[in-house]
Amino acid sequence: MLRKLHSIPGLIAALLMTIVAMTGAVLSVNPAIERASAVRSDLTPVSVATLASRVSTSVPDVETLMRRPSGEIIAYYQAGGEQHASIIDPATGKAVGDYRSSPVERWVKNLHRKLFLGDAGRIATGATAAFMLFAVLSGLALLARRMGGWTHILAPIRGDGLQRLHNETARAVLAGLTLSAMTGVVMSLTTFGAIPEGGAQEPSLSVSAITRPPMPLRQLSALAIDVSRLRQLTFANAADPSSVIEVNTTDGAGYVDPSSGKWLAFQPVDAWQRLHGMVRMLHTGEGLWWLGLILGASSASVPLLATTGLLLWLRRRRGMPKLACNVPARDADTVLLVGTEGNSTWGFASALHAALTRAGFRVHVAPMNDFAVGYRNLRRLLVLTATYGDGDAPESAIRFLPKLERLTIPGGVAFGVLGFGDRQFPRFCGYARTVHDALTAKGLGALTDLGTVDRQSEPEFRQWCTGLAERLGTSLDIRYTPLLPPTIPLKLVSRDDYGADTEDMTSVLRFMPAEGTSVWTTLLRPRLPRFETGDLLGVVPPGATSPRYYSLASATADGLVEICVRRHPNGVCSGYLTGLRPGETIEAFMRPHACFRPGAGSAPVILIGAGTGIGPLIGFIRHNASRRPMHLYFGARDADDGFLYRDELKHLVADRRLQALTTAFSRSGSRSYVQERLAADAQSLRTLVAHGAQIMVCGGRRMAEGVAQAWERILADTGLSVEQLRAQGRYVEDVY
């Protein structure tokens, strides 16, 4: 619900928010420009009395002095029957140039404040400010949820490129946008009288003809105030005996007797006036030029936030499947509930729904939030759910547990829960575990053990469905087709092969963007999309529907795509890739994997990989231009034909991009494994961890489990554990 409430005002008011924000960004630079170019009064401390005396001497027939928020003094006077305005040097009181307001600035202000529509435009811009304030505050709440709570609000943001761009930009500008929107709402409410402006009482004045001659201006005691407090001074009219001097300052407004120099009347500013003065300064930056620039930069981000937000919304909408034969809840014997944040789980739910329907079950599919009474024929409750942030419910499931606690479920109902997530997160499928425990506590029997799917793995999904089918006494024909992002053609330009057995060899494959087939793509030089070392290359082999993922050993800056692939017996994609010849092309896409990268800073990095797991690790070493301490533990079968990147690693050690290289070969030499080499170096590794080292593991799951067990023994006497390091982001894995 919160996400919908956040999206709706953004979609409705996106254009208006963009117009108001961009015009506000343009206006925000004016205070800084004026301050930089103005002859300012605050550079030369002087009293209002002295300034008035100097100006009246230098500028005949001066009528009004005005001090702008930038500190610039403007004198208004008549000359030749026309009104003129000049910029004044407060040190001399002389005019140093003509003052002309910018027609462009007036045009932008008109558009910003009322869209050239008068009061109707003011109402529209006020409503836009309210929309923006709600969007900002709801976005902040969503970001806190995504980060796992307010205490993690500044932690690194995970997700794909579009999600990170939207959320990282939002986090950087939230404070500025909140201030701009809140002050804009207050100013709009004040315009239409919903909030008092203050200053309702004018200084009462009753003046008869003044017979005494006026005193010299510099001797007027009431004007012995610093110019920095002046807003406007209107001189007395020498031809009118009853004319007085009108003064408006930051402290209040009143009238001064030109013959005595004393206040005839003075009305201090009240609390409402002070409030509105502060609100105006915070909204416009007038008087705080640096704040204006900050607010302007924040406002300039609104088009980006609106665009990325719209793209995320469209992506979620596209991810919603159109389910055929979805049985009404009251008639269903099987209810399939879906918890998802970005709609990716719906693809799996759709495949399971179709398979169960073909098997003869009456299935009703709905978001977990729609869980309710009315399941009169319910016999099975299946839950497919992702996890949001640090174990929280995703958007379509946030109301499920409170509803479950209140509802009574008929006896004899069995359940099954399948969780979707990423093993790199500390609480992998944490919400699915919570749901499983809650259903068990409700007295329901489990059809299957809790299932988990790592990074939308189709084999893991099918494995759980097979177990479910066995418990149901049927077979399920799962026809899952993932929704893949757009692919790009990549041409193989070189390959290095390792291993004498062609059926079990490992290849390092390097690709470049392939030339396009159309006229336009042929004329334009093909480019690689943005990706970093450690991200994943998705490849769908011919005849298959699901992508296989390979860790990237290169980054966009390298100008090529490099992966390591080991050919597996009967491996569809590995056989396809290792069978390629230079010049042949594949279709592939990039998938961000931001949680598997060296952390920022100069702390040591301990890299552990076996076989093709060295791919991203050597990429990290290549890009180690700062020479931070990196220690590589590499395992392979054979030192002769299984040592990937052997010559390059020697060069990287000599170049100090790699501080230490430790190898383990299971079928040659001393016949050891990487976990044994880690155990042998336990003391030095404990020292590195004590100095903040990050541990990065890449390779097969069995190897990663053995490495984790070795680290538990290494850390046994340090007060740390692998789980603690994972929670701190200092123990990360890329396993397969």
Q: Which H, E and C letters describe 601-637, residue by residue? A: CCCCEEEEEEHHHHHHHHHHHHCCCCCCCEEEEEEEC
**Measured between alpha carbons, how far is 575 from 553 in angstroms, rounded to an integer?**
20
Which residues have C-beta within 8 Å of that of residue 32, sequence separation ≥ 6?
285, 289, 290, 292, 293
Q: Is the pLDDT of residue 716 over 50?
A: yes
DSSP 8-state symbol, 247: E
**Measured between alpha carbons, how far is 612 from 736 in angstroms, rounded to an integer?**
11
**Measured between alpha carbons, how far is 384 from 112 in angstroms, rounded to an integer?**
47
- Dihedral sign (CA 429, 430, 435, 436): positive
Which residues have C-beta within 8 Å of that of residue 682, sequence separation ≥ 6?
713, 714
pLDDT at 43: 61
Query: Considering the chain, what percentage of its residues have pLDDT values greater than 70?
Result: 90
Span 146-161, average pLDDT: 69
H/E segment holding residue 573: helix 572-578
Q: Is the pLDDT of residue 209 over 80?
A: no
pLDDT at 526: 66
**456 neighbors 435 (Cβ within 8 angstroms):** no
**Measured between alpha carbons, how far is 52 from 89 in angstroms, rounded to an integer?**
12
**CA proximity to 7, closest of 303, 297, 305:** 305
Tokens of 249: 């300052």
Burial of 520 (0-12, 13-18, 19+ CB in 10 A): exposed
**Helix-helix angle 118-146:103-114, to 10 degrees:** 70
Question: How many angstroms separate the Cα of 160 from the Cα of each of 104, 280, 573?
Answer: 41, 39, 24
Span 218-235, average pLDDT: 93
Strand partners, 492: 511
**CA proximity to 627, closest of 652, 599, 645, 591:** 652
Span 81-109, average pLDDT: 88
**605 neighbors 686 (Cβ within 8 angstroms):** no
- Pick from 56-65, 271-280, 652-661 the range whose average pLDDT is largest: 652-661
Q: Is the pLDDT of residue 522 over 50?
A: no
Q: Is the pLDDT of residue 645 over 90?
A: yes
Kindly indicate the confidence band of residue 580, based on its pLDDT and cuts at 50, 70 and 90: very high
Strand partners, 66: 74, 232
More confident residue, 625 or 37: 625
Task: Give yes or no on whether 320-472 and 488-591 have one common fold.
Answer: no
H/E segment holding residue 492: strand 488-498
Give the residue carrying structure tokens 């009431």. 222
- Structural domain spans, the chain: 2-30+106-197+285-313, 320-472, 488-591, 605-735
In CATH, 605-735 is 3.90.79.10: no
Span 137-154, average pLDDT: 75
Q: Is the pLDDT of residue 517 over 50?
A: no
Kindly indicate the confidence band of residue 147, based on its pLDDT and cuts at 50, 70 and 90: low
**228 neighbors 72 (Cβ within 8 angstroms):** no
Q: Is the pLDDT of residue 504 over 70?
A: yes
Please give the CATH architecture assigned to the domain spanning 488-591.
Answer: Beta Barrel (2.40)
Tokens of 330: 């009251």
Give the residue carrying structure tokens 């079928």. 667
Q: Is the pLDDT of residue 669 over 80?
A: no
Span 441-451, average pLDDT: 92
**Measured between alpha carbons, how far is 268 from 549 in angstroms, rounded to an integer?**
71
| 3 state SS of 26 | helix
pLDDT at 204: 63
**CA proximity to 287, closest of 22, 42, 25, 23:** 42
pLDDT at 632: 97
Burial 568-595 (b: 16+ CB within 10 A, else e): eeeeebbebbbebeeeebbebbbbbbbb
H/E segment holding residue 510: strand 506-513
Q: Is the pLDDT of residue 146 over 70?
A: no
Query: Considering the chain, what percentage of its residues have pLDDT values greater than 90?
Result: 46
**Measured between alpha carbons, how far is 290 from 688 in angstroms, rounded to an integer?**
43
**Measured between alpha carbons, how far is 286 from 109 in angstroms, rounded to an integer?**
14
Strand partners, 421: 454
Question: How many angstroms separate the Cα of 714 from the Cα of each of 136, 531, 701, 730?
Answer: 46, 34, 20, 15
Strand partners, 699: 735
DSSP 8-state symbol, 59: S
**Measured between alpha carbons, how far is 497 from 495 in angstroms, rounded to an integer?**
6
Question: How many angstroms separate the Cα of 674 from the Cα of each of 529, 637, 646, 671, 681?
Answer: 35, 11, 16, 10, 11
Tokens of 284: 């416009």
Which residues have C-beta within 8 Å of that of residue 245, sequence separation ≥ 6?
220, 223, 233, 234, 235, 236, 255, 256, 257, 258
H/E segment holding residue 302: helix 302-319
Tokens of 70: 């930038």
**483 neighbors 319 (Cβ within 8 angstroms):** yes
- Helix-strand-coil percent breakdown of the chain, rounded to 5? 40, 20, 35
**Measured between alpha carbons, how far is 598 from 641 in angstroms, rounded to an integer?**
29
- pLDDT tens-digit profile of 673-693? 999 999 999 999 999 999 999
**426 neighbors 724 (Cβ within 8 angstroms):** no
Span 58-63, average pLDDT: 90
pLDDT at 520: 38
**Measured between alpha carbons, how far is 30 from 24 in angstroms, rounded to an integer?**
10
**Measured between alpha carbons, how far is 364 from 379 in angstroms, rounded to an integer?**
12
pLDDT at 518: 42
- Half-sphere exposure of 587 toward its Cβ, with a 13 Å CA cutoff? 12
Average pLDDT along the chain? 86
Indicate the residue type of 550.
Answer: Y
Span 630-642, average pLDDT: 88
**Measured between alpha carbons, how far is 92 from 226 in angstroms, rounded to an integer?**
16
pLDDT at 521: 45
pLDDT at 689: 96
Q: Is the pLDDT of residue 523 over 50?
A: no
**Helix-helix angle 2-12:118-146, to 10 degrees:** 150
pLDDT at 701: 84
Q: In which region does residue 159 sit, left (phi positive, over 0), alpha (psi from -120 to 50) or beta (all else)?
A: left
Please give the CATH architecture assigned to the domain spanning 320-472.
Answer: 3-Layer(aba) Sandwich (3.40)
Task: Lowest mean pLDDT of 128-137, 308-317, 336-345, 464-473, name the range.
Answer: 308-317
**359 neighbors 403 (Cβ within 8 angstroms):** no
Q: Is the pLDDT of residue 207 over 60?
A: no
**CA proximity to 482, closest of 432, 420, 566:** 420
**Measured between alpha carbons, how far is 436 from 441 in angstroms, rounded to an integer?**
9
**CA proximity to 620, closest of 645, 641, 643:** 645
Q: Is the pLDDT of residue 324 over 70?
A: yes
- Pick from 218-232, 370-384, 414-428 the range whose average pLDDT is largest: 218-232
**Helix-helix angle 344-358:458-472, to 10 degrees:** 30
Give the residue carrying structure tokens 């301990």. 606
Q: Is the pLDDT of residue 485 over 90?
A: no
| 3 state SS of 196 | coil
pLDDT at 475: 93
**Measured between alpha carbons, how far is 352 from 336 in angstroms, rounded to an integer?**
9
**Measured between alpha carbons, how far is 56 from 234 in angstroms, rounded to an integer?**
11
**53 neighbors 218 (Cβ within 8 angstroms):** yes
Span 92-107, average pLDDT: 88
Kindly indicate the confidence band of residue 519, based on its pLDDT and cuts at 50, 70 and 90: very low
